[in-house]
Amino acid sequence: MQLHEYTISELSSLISKKEISIPELTRHMLDRIEKLEPKLGCYISIVEDKAMEQAAKVQSMLNDGVLNSPLAGIPMGIKDNICTDGIPTTCASKMLSNFIPPYNAYVVKKLYDSGAVLLGKLNMDEFAMGSSTESSYFKMTKNPWDTERVPGGSSGGSAAAVVAGEAIYALGSDTGGSIRQPASFCGCVGLKPTYGLVSRFGLVAYASSLDQIGPITKIVTDGTLVLNAIAGHDPMDLTSSRRAQPDYTKALINDVKGMKIGLPREFVDDGVDKDVRNAILNAVKVFADLGAECVEISIPVMEYVVPAYYIIALAEASSNLARYDGIKFGYRASEPEDILDFCMRTRSEGFGTEVKRRILLGTYVLSSGYYDAYYKKALKARAIITREFNKAFEKCDIIIGPVSPTTAYKIGEKINDPVQMYMEDIFTVPVNIAGLPAMSIPCGFDSKSLPIGLQLIGKRFDEPTIIRAAYTFEKNTDYHRARPKIN
């Protein structure tokens, strides 16, 4: 095996035994990035000098015995909507193409405290608005399994980098499935924590009541180690939970005997691709054979989740993106006639097509005469959806199903049909609406040899249960071992 193929735990062991050095590992990863970037386009910026400097620093701290963390010296990437001090944070947009934050996001600080080595900032859909990473201002990221297909989005760069060995792990953000869907399309593990478990301070906001930062990793154990590092209360985030955080690695138990697992009939209906449905039903059988009690349940409000989600998300996006007027920071239109022309042209030239579409729709549903008809109803629907999931959890410990109705589709196939692309999120958006934790893990391949993701949904702040179920499934199957042949 080459160094980029190892997991966090394996590399941590090699480093502690002095079988490899951190600068050696970091150099290997940077060389890997240089080799594959022309084919995949995972990174927006690569910080080679800073990475090597950090690697030497962490190596010195380990040698002196002042640092003890499983993440110490492990090279990683960060989605480019998470602020990094002195390193551009562009949100894959023209609007913020020249923005360099003067501070680190809370999660970045936590990872640095753990001795992480940052390789660079990862590509994404512009302002995290998309499901394919096709709306990036800079480049198109390609799926390592088939470079004619999308890697998913909006954290497509993060998932593709992990699977291709351009990062050992990565951080993404999930507003309606943006960690889980690319993890599913690329065949890795993506964890969306409970809303409030991980601080959003330093995350450039898309929809503030839905956004959540989480890890994308090769295996469940790695995701759990990263969650341990980034979870916890942050006084800079008023939505940050004050709950005491457990050691999530204690949930890495290969046993689901007696666990009740619910499969909503709406999750395996005719709208789901046949290969995907078969993979999910096979996963149910795996759990049943391991001693779990699998029950069929119903969540009858599924037809409302996509409309409710997009009304709420776009309304919040309209409000959050109002700050980009060219006056305080970001792109500025040249030679304006007056202040009105300046603001209008800055926004018109600085935002891409999908972002402008979402701002317009969000402004519409918040406008006088339409607020009650759309936004207020969507908030009521959100309460009903949350209640239905709570009722479902009275019958089971976790809910499972597909991440997406399909596997990775071809580049350009859905970009001109936004409604079709929005419907790809039907199984992921209810998790964000209700603020629940969820994870995508590999569970099979379709007839084209493309990965299929299994989604595990838990109760609020019950990450240990979905970690335990995911770990058990992983230990009793081999899907997580598969890697694309790309050199």
Confidence band of 464 (pLDDT split at 50, 70, 90): very high
Residue 18: pLDDT band (50, 70, 90) is: very high
C-beta atoms surrounding 352 within 10 Å = 19
Residues classed as catalytic: 79, 154, 178
Instruction: Supply the pLDDT for residue 326.
Output: 92
In this prediction, residue 468 carries a pLDDT of 98
Query: For the chain, what are the domain ranges?
Result: 3-256+403-417+436-481
Q: Is the pLDDT of residue 206 over 90?
A: yes
* Segment 96-143, tens digit of pLDDT: 999 999 999 999 999 999 999 999 999 999 999 999 999 999 999 999
Q: What is the pLDDT of residues 256-288, one digit of tens each?
A: 999 999 999 999 998 999 999 999 999 999 999
pLDDT of residue 417: 87
Answer whether residue 487 shows pLDDT above 80.
no
Q: Kindly state the percentage of the chain with pLDDT values over 90.
A: 96
pLDDT at 310 over 90: yes
Query: Does position 418 have pLDDT exceeding 90, yes or no?
Result: no
Burial class (CB in 10 A: 0-12, 13-18, 19+), 244: exposed
107 neighbors 376 (Cβ within 8 angstroms): no
Average pLDDT for 318-337: 94
Q: Which pLDDT belongs to residue 459?
A: 98
Q: CATH number of the domain at 3-256+403-417+436-481, out of 2.40.30.170, 3.90.1300.10, 3.30.70.20, 2.60.260.20?
A: 3.90.1300.10
Mean pLDDT score, 304-320 = 97
Q: What is the C-alpha to C-alpha distance for residues 170 and 108, in angstroms, rounded to an integer?
A: 11
pLDDT digits 0-9 by tens, 372-395: 999 999 999 999 999 999 999 999
Q: How confident is the model at residue 57 (pLDDT cuts 50, 70, 90)?
A: very high
Q: What is the pLDDT of residue 143?
A: 98
> Tokens for 451?
């990965």
Cα–Cα distances in angstroms (integers) from residue 419 to residues 128, 182, 311, in the given order: 17, 19, 13
Share of the chain above pLDDT 70, in %: 100
